[in-house]
Chain A
Amino acid sequence: MPHQPSHRRLQIFSLDPSADVEIESALISRSVLKVPWEDLSPSKDKSSDEESGPGPVGEYIEVIDVDPASDYFYDPVNLDDPRLLAIDGLDPSTGNPQFHQQMVYAVAMKTIANFEQALGRKVQWSERYINYEDLEPKYEEDPDLNKEDFVLPLEKRFVRRLRIYPHAMREENAFYSPRKKALLFGYFNAPTTDPREELPGSIVFTCLSHDIIAHETTHAILDGIHRRLLDATNLDMIAFHEAFADIVAIFQHFTLPGLLIDQIQKSRGNLASDNLLARLAIQFARSTGRGTALRNALGRFKEGVRQTPDPEAFNRTFEPHDRGAILVAAVFDAFIKIYENRVADLYRIATGGTGVLPDGEIHPDLANRLAEEAQMTAERVLTMCIRAVDYLPPVDITFGDYLRALITADSDLIPDDPARHRLAFIQAFRDHGIYPLDVRTLAEDTLRWVRVDVESEDWKRVHEIMPPPNLLRKMAYAYTFDNGDDWFSSLSQEETFDENTSFKELESKLNEIVGHTRKRKVKKQKGADSKQSRSKFAGAREKRFLLEKKFSSILHHWISLKLQEYDQFNNEQPQARNDLKELIGRLLGLDLDASISRDKKVQRQIEVIAVRPTMRLRPDGHSKVELLIVLTQKKYEPLLDQQGEPVNDQNGDPLEFTYRGGCNLIIDPEQGLIEYSIVKNLTSESRRERHSKFFKDQLAQFGHAAITHFGLSEKGCRSRRKMEPFAMAHQFHADAGGYFYG
């Protein structure tokens, strides 16, 4: 019996169908993607809804092809059909909906695989918050509302599969719906009147664009990693989601070998010249009269010449897509710098030392070598960009923070940087006017987040409120063990901790959870049955989700108990006590003296929003394991104008905004000690002022529409969020064509 294959080969349109109908590009218009193997054959067990099967319905995604506007449902493709397995799936076709299903599946899975490789853990979709009584909440519920604030409690639910609807609507749009945990793709009649752009009136499918699929999938993955990114508190945050999704889509171009070689040959290896690799969503842009690309990572071209970036432009650009485009351009610029650095020797070898290429086409061998370098560089850059997400502060992210996260994440994994990759990033970001405001110089060592000095007295105080190192270590490694079904049911049980729970109980609970894992593992080795491999694998992600939920709960109570002790002890020395609380708060970005408004008793609404591991392979062959713990805290702040008068909504009720702070703790599990504490301080007055100003600016610009869009709330009320933040982003900021005052 042969082994399971490691991957499945699936045909796709390289970029989109437009290249398929042009003679110059027809050769490169199709590619074969290698995606991780999973069993997709029809389930024999009809009773189980969780089974994978045609759709494709796999571990991570389920493609359901309903087309309500046409009132049709298209039969799902069975990719495990031997007739399809033998020929790398269906041939690319615009007219066959089953190929559409295959292509969205292939590109989305490829994107997921890229993330898993970079992050060293399974991709999880963002959890679903529901309240018990109302299973269809009117608005996306605010997940971190304190239970005591409102009558209806909220429950976190695991979402196993992202749903993909390839033909959801009839418009020039595709979006990720955080509420439905689904990607919705539209199709439309090409509005162009120029048959050279696209056959006028012909149907353009957004689900056949590699870039659009990768972009939307990235939105979903990023939302799963960092839910707070949707709560914009500054201009960069609105843009970051868009920019990051573009970056992933663009660097995935380099994994399409035919396209890469072709473009290397056409550009004679000069990737800074206008080329298809840097262009996003070509067919979509052309058919809707938007030019040659929806966005171009090389920035602007004037008469075929690439314009050098204007570092001032960043400060003048407020429209989110435009602002995001600057980040994309900066990252791509870094890529070009690294690539050019890496291929300089190849050019010299090929030209007898001059480095100056003769006219005409380049040698195919050279093209192959250049393509190889480009592909490796792209992979490295993409991995760097993805890893940085784990090193972002928990809230209020800026592009400058992202640069710092990038540098820290990379230098942590690869301490020496012989090819000067990080320098290329720093330089490219600087050229585009992106830099953090809180560093003294733009050098690698100052850009890195400051490493915690574990020997210092201050940090010893912080470690005192955390669980002891051996428990943290157990948490980190708990994720790495396989586990069984008994364990799953024990994880599913609701835990109730309260003020009377002791540390001992928490510790034994944690030991029980972790110990259980070990026991199960031993058992399994005895009577291993490989037949059920599929469902075992399937359960793994849900178990990780539940494990994280458990750990969060334990950690939350641990820290709460510690802080309660601090509240009570040293009553005879209030000054010393307050100093201590101030110190710990400052290092963790929290306000330990916060008495929360709304006439409640003193509460610190500290929330543990993530306890998750990362596992990465270092170049020296060692694996690096880290535990991320994210703590946040929030306050409700009144929105005040310059005279200190409250700003009201249309009903005359004063408005509030949610002000958040906290830290992203990166813990070395070997030591059980904090390595980095990436902080946004809740006690910072200036940051609160910036928040307040941001919300007021948005109100001034967009009127009361901004209230729901930016999650402001009437005093004492639950904030109302936009149902579809990604669908609306474009409309909300439409125009920006430069005609109007805004």
Chain B
Amino acid sequence: MKKHFGEYRRLARGLYSCSSLWAGPDHFVYVKGSGFLMPFVEEYKRFGYKDVQAITRARSMVYLWSSLLFGLGAALSAALIFLPDYSAPVTIVMFIFMIPVLAVCLPCFVVTMARGPTCRCRIQTAVGSVLIRPLSRERAAKKAILEMSALIAEHQADLVSWHQVEGEAEGRWDVSAAETETAPQAATPGIRPERRMTRSKVLVPTFVLMLPFGVIWLAYAYVPVWWPLILAGVLEFALLLGIAASLVEQMRGYSPGSILAILWAALVQQIGLMLAAFVVYIVWSINNGMARSAGGPEVFANLLERLDTSVFVYNFSVINGLFSVLLGLAGLSQVWRYHSRMAGGPSPPLPASKPVEVPAPRAREAVQRSEGIDEY
């Protein structure tokens, strides 16, 4: 897609270039495309720079759910593809059906993580507010909003504000200079500076612990020796404590949504592991004659025995290991990205608007407008 043509310059582009946002000489154009892989219908909404009242940006949960969905899909399909026994019919079937799933989920997961958190941006005018779909990623949205704010500030610099109209209605003609001397100038109008993340001594070590934990499980899938599992058990307890402490700390203060999502996913994984360990213990106890009972536990144990335990253990180890390693790497990368972004400092302030001197005839018109007097 072109980046500029005629008087228009592209500010943002949506998925498959269906939608886009353009800056023109005195207005924005939001091209909203509807279709599948390419737009079949385009709708155009134009916003004059002088008509824009506000641009809002709010984080959305799409990033969390899409990264979880694609990550789990990629991990599960990869585990099911690399089954140890290729002669079994079920393995061949899994191989055929899981390859397209992996081919879709893995690139989507990588792209989702690379593009970063999602958000929803709206442009508000006197008529209403419009959702701008191309501004769906925070990084691109922040950059575009800065450019839009600069254009709007430039075109709205000569507009008369309400307090000036009211002041002139009260007979204070030279209100503009006095008001602007005392009025606070916003550094970045409409843009809130980034908040500092809650400091934590536990967060980074927790993410680091996930890496050896995942590696031990991955190694167990190929070298089924029992003693590393003891180390994995110790790491699991440490991880549980670390994840719980990190979650409490981060939720008390401010934390990026991506880091919270990773911590929650890790917590769910650890709880699932503990439940799985509990189930395995019951089965082992029953099979070894330490506990004999008719009914539910024995039936469950019989069900598990009918499964190919090597396949079950292999899949479990690979999925668990991959998931832990991925979560650890994702967490460390998000922490590093956030801190390096904050180290760069907050967004630079926009140039302050010049004080407006309202000449007498215009002030008279403002008074007439406020008193409902129509000259025509």
A-B complex is real: no
Chain A residues in the interface with B (C-beta under 8 A): none
